[in-house]
């Protein structure tokens, strides 16, 4: 009888959707693999747009040659394959479909998150 009541109670309770994970671009650093194949978009951590203008980018990125030096926000090292990356991001050509935008800089000290 108890199992029947428990089953009935579980059946009548509304199912809760899992909480969505919010993407915070200001916490991304380390080795990053940029995916361009739309078929693999669902396997990526987030979607990014490469902004040609620094003024409109959410994150300024400096490409490090060594993963050990990519230890702060905006310092990214290119991963040779998606399996070796800390983050896998899909690069979209459409800004409206991106979670955030980045701009590459040649000066290491300019890298980081822009605060508005």
Q: How many domains does the chain have?
A: 1
CA atoms of 72 and 28, how far apart (whole Å): 8
Is residue 16 assigned to a domain? no
Could you list the residue range(s) of the whole structural domain that residue 47 is in? 24-113
Query: What Rg do the C-alpha atoms of the chain give, in angstroms?
Result: 20
Please give the pLDDT value at position 21: 52
CA atoms of 12 and 42, how far apart (whole Å): 32
Is residue 43 assigned to a domain? yes
Is residue 5 assigned to a domain? no
Is residue 106 assigned to a domain? yes
Three-state DSSP class for residue 45? coil
Is residue 2 assigned to a domain? no
Is residue 42 assigned to a domain? yes
Please give the pLDDT value at position 11: 72
pTM for this predicted structure: 0.77
Is residue 86 assigned to a domain? yes
Q: What is the pLDDT along the chain (116 residues), one digit of tens a residue?
A: 777 776 766 677 665 444 445 688 999 999 999 999 999 999 999 999 999 999 999 999 999 999 999 999 999 999 999 999 999 999 999 999 999 999 999 999 999 998 65
Is residue 31 assigned to a domain? yes
């Amino acid at each position: 009888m108890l199992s029947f009541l428990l089953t009935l109670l579980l059946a009548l309770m509304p199912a809760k959707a899992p909480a969505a994970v919010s993407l915070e671009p200001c916490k991304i650093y380390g080795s990053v693999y940029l995916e361009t194949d739309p078929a693999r978009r669902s396997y990526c951590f987030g979607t990014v747009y490469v902004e040609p203008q620094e003024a409109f980018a959410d994150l300024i990125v400096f490409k490090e040659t060594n993963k050990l030096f990519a230890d702060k926000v905006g310092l990214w090292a290119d991963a040779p394959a998606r399996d070796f990356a800390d983050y896998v991001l899909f690069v979209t050509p459409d800004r409206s479909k991106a979670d955030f935008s980045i701009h590459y800089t040649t000066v290491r000290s300019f890298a980081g998150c822009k605060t508005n």
